[in-house]
Structure 1
Amino acid sequence: MTKRMDGKVVLVTGGASRPGLGAAIGERLAAEGANVVLSDVDLPGVEETAALIRDKGGMASAVKHDVASQEDWDKVVQSLIAEHGQLDALVNNAGILDVAGMASDRAVGALRSQFEVNVAGSFIGTQVAVKAMRQSGGGSIVNMSSVAGLVGFRGSAAYAASKGAVKLFSKSVALEVAAENIRVNTVHPGIIRTNMQAAGAGTNSDNYDAIEAAIPMGRLGEPVDIANCVLFLASDESTYVTGAEFVVDGGYTAQ
């Protein structure tokens, strides 16, 4: 039986953390037939994620990758093309979250560090992926933003600024490459049960408690909820979808 991602090669960044979005996305895409390359600065962690996917019958490999490094991006994608011959989809998932206080109390370094990973990482990755996808006639780029890139979040100003930048950067690039059959979209998770969110809740518990209580569906999201959305965008089911934002938040930002 044909699967939704048969024959496609996908690079997913930030695949080490479990529970985490990158790991869940890699597992979901591999289950649908994709050959998944997972990357992360944590090589042992991402190798373990790839091994778990292979144990379930999927195709997955792992590579060490600092998404803020142009050199790393070039090496990772060049190696991927040399081994697999194509890059059909990129999921720019790697990111960091620093929500330890109000903007008036934070040093500007908190902003710079999040822009370096969340924004520059997506920017460089998108650049490199576009060049690779031009060689094979198109592809899909999914950049991970956040509901914090859509509405304000107390205690998360630097993070929100970075994720808002990812959203508008992605829309702009989508217009630039649409005629080349390259799609660029963003996914905006709400409060999802991951290690990153647990860390954020630990340093910003009052705000997180209020946000969780305000979710209309009455529960936190699970990583697979995001992975299912990414699967649609990475597959050929979304060939007429670009420059769009997909909100997966249990209704939080609908209020």
Structure 2
Amino acid sequence: MAGEHGLLRGRVALITGASSGIGAASARVFAREGATVVLAARREDRLRELVEELRGTGAEAAYVVTDVSRREDTRRAVGFVLERYGRLDSAFNNAGWGMGRTPLHLMDDAAYDSIMDVNARGVWNCLRDEIAAMLANGGGTIVNNSSVGGLLATPVAAPYVAAKHAVIGFTKAAAAEYAAQGIRVNAVAPGTTRSEVVADWFAQNPGIEEALHAATPQPRTAEPEEIAEAAAWLLSDRASFVTGATVPVDGGFTMV
């Protein structure tokens, strides 16, 4: 049986942005570590395929189509978890997306709104519904996916940088507010991580991957599983005295 002795054994975990990249890798890692996983994202075909894959390993998995920028969707996703499994123990608020590199003074309202709606409002929506469910269950653990862009500024990405800083602010605020009620809230801040979007970016911008490697003490691109492993640890009892923290998973990029 998958995850018989894993870090997340016996937990019910919700993962947003679970159809690809870090989210899909997290579904596999969490299931391997013993969690029952509920996958939430917008692309039902990808979710269905991943759930079938996980069930093939002996894991318990389900999915719910979700747009985290819509409060009714996050409420429905958490409601699905509660109806199907009776509780929500852990959540990885991973859904997010980047944007084309545009100077701040040329950025239009639509681009700003789309970035903030997914990356900031999406986490805000998820936190409210997840915390309500966890309070009713006596506690739980949450990890939010920020970015190295939430720890420092990068040029021509102002809304993304602002949104990822906001994720860290939400993390600290929620951790402070609910620690005494048994809810731990932390964040991961990934560096450049190999995904479909990043692979396309590399292909369209020859030399950018090498330039990023040159600026990173561990000179390579992260694999999605490496971010998932950090999130799994933070969600587990191995991190029982960690809350309000943002853990860089960036090969040392923000260290220098």
**In which range does the TM-score fall when normalised by the shorter chain?**
over 0.9
Q: Equivalents in 2 of 1:124, 1:73: separation in Å?
A: 6
Aligned partner of 2:244 in structure 1 is 243
Task: Report the CA distance between 1:111 and its aligned residue.
Answer: 1.6
TM-score of the superposition, structure 2-length normalised?
Answer: 0.94
Aligned partner of 1:85 in structure 2 is 86
Conserved? CA contact 2:66–2:77, under 8 Å: yes
Q: Equivalents in 2 of 1:243, 1:72: separation in Å?
A: 26
Q: Equivalents in 1 of 2:81, 2:67: separation in Å?
A: 16
Unaligned runs of 5+ in 1: none
Task: Report the CA distance between 1:108 and its aligned residue.
Answer: 2.7
Whether 1:198 and 2:186 are equivalent positions in the alignment is no
Conserved? CA contact 2:64–2:80, under 8 Å: no
Task: Report the CA distance between 1:6 and its aligned residue.
Answer: 1.5
Whether 1:224 and 2:234 are equivalent positions in the alignment is no
Aligned residues: 253
Aligned partner of 1:7 in structure 2 is 10
Task: Report the CA distance between 1:154 and its aligned residue.
Answer: 1.9
Whether 1:16 and 2:22 are equivalent positions in the alignment is no
Q: Equivalents in 2 of 1:27, 1:83: separation in Å?
A: 20
Alignment of 1:51-130 (within 5 A): 51-130=52-131
Q: Equivalents in 2 of 1:112, 1:202: separation in Å?
A: 27
Aligned partner of 1:149 in structure 2 is 150
Letter in 1 for 2:198: Q
Task: Report the CA distance between 1:209 and its aligned residue.
Answer: 4.7
TM-score of the superposition, structure 1-length normalised?
Answer: 0.94
Conserved? CA contact 1:189–1:247, under 8 Å: yes
Q: Equivalents in 1 of 2:244, 2:16: separation in Å?
A: 20
Task: Report the CA distance between 1:73 and its aligned residue.
Answer: 1.2
Identity of aligned residues (%): 38
Letter in 2 for 1:191: T
Give the secondary structure class of the aligned counterpart of 2:241: coil
Task: Report the CA distance between 1:99 and its aligned residue.
Answer: 2.8
Letter in 1 for 2:13: V
Conserved? CA contact 1:16–1:48, under 8 Å: no
Conserved? CA contact 1:191–1:212, under 8 Å: no
Pick closer, same or farther for the CA change 1:155–1:78 going to 2, 3 Å.
same
